[in-house]
Structure 1
Amino acid sequence: MKRAGLGAAILLGGCVVAGLLWVGLGQSGSVVRTAEQLERGADIYATNCASCHGAKLEGQPDWKRRLPSGRLPAPPHDASGHTWHHPDDVLFRITKEGPAVVVGGSYESDMPGFNEVLSDDDIRAVLDFIKSTWPERERQHQATMSREKEAS
């Protein structure tokens, strides 16, 4: 009887662990962030990004049209923009190093790299916050690109 009880306890414990892992994963296989983590990302975004990319992630007006300086305005990070067209590693590097570094110097904007302002965890928190605002279709598209890029 004790063996059956021990086996049942082990099976139950395994199911609990598996359930927790499942709850911790989104449909795309990406880790689901807690409300606190997303709030942290939103706070970091508000402090460091919203002045250019907009409080509602709307970007600057006419973001596809070059300014008189030849540089591009800040794009939106909501579903109307192109942020979700990039895999995670590209978004991370753009935020950390600046877009010109990632795009080979061909993308001229006023965005600085935040490598001396934000930690890697801060950057990931901001990106998780931004992604959390996208509709499911855009999130799935971006998650698929990220997985494919990681696998290659």
Structure 2
Amino acid sequence: MLLAAAMLFAAAAGGVALLSGYGWPDPVPAAIDADDPVQVALGRRLYGEWCAGCHGANLEGQPNWRSRRPDGRLPAPPHDASGHTWHHADGMLFRITRDGTSAVVGGDYETDMPGFGGVLSDTEIRATLAFIKSTWSERERGVQERQSRLEREAAR
């Protein structure tokens, strides 16, 4: 009963619970624009400052990023076409960057990826993601945009 009331309240307030196992999402950020030169330039600078140390200056990720290290954690994945970042919708990428992978994936998933919500503003996170997206080919950007569109439709 309490859960049904909470879901009704969330729906009335414009929120939607995704049944994908990721919990109660925030509104999907709409302003991640890989074609906006100002946003991409800011994102390039922020990526260099906050992300390149782990994900590589050229978005190449860490070696053997698909194989767990002895501590059980996965190395930082690439954000270029060889990785899987472009398989995820904008909202998912935003939440992973803001809250950290463990907070989004849940459970006992261990990762070195922190949440940057206490360090970067939402605008800066969107800019960083815009930079990353700006490096993808038309194919990767198309796949990623379809994922984002599906995410937006599910949130309605």
Q: TM-score, normalised by structure 1?
A: 0.77
Q: Indicate how the Cα distance of structure 1 residues 31 and 64 shifts in structure 2: closer, same or farther if over 3 A, else same.
A: closer
Aligned equivalents of 1:88 and 1:57: distance in 2? 18
Unmatched tracts of structure 2, length 5 or more? 1-31
Secondary structure of 1:77's aligned partner: coil
Pairing of 1:1-150 with structure 2 (within 5 A): 31=33, 33-150=35-152
* Corresponding residue pairs, total: 123
What's the RMSD between the two structures over aligned residues?
Answer: 1.3
Secondary structure of 1:47's aligned partner: helix
Q: TM-score, normalised by structure 2?
A: 0.75
Larger radius of gyration between Structure 1 and Structure 2: 1
Secondary structure of 2:45's aligned partner: helix
Unmatched tracts of structure 1, length 5 or more? 1-29
**Deviation of the 1:31 alpha carbon:** 4.6
Structure with greater helix share of residues: 1
Secondary structure of 2:79's aligned partner: coil
- Which of structure 1's runs of 4+ aligned residues deviate more than 6 A? none
Aligned counterpart, 2:8: none
Counting aligned pairs with the same residue, the percent is: 59
Secondary structure of 1:51's aligned partner: helix
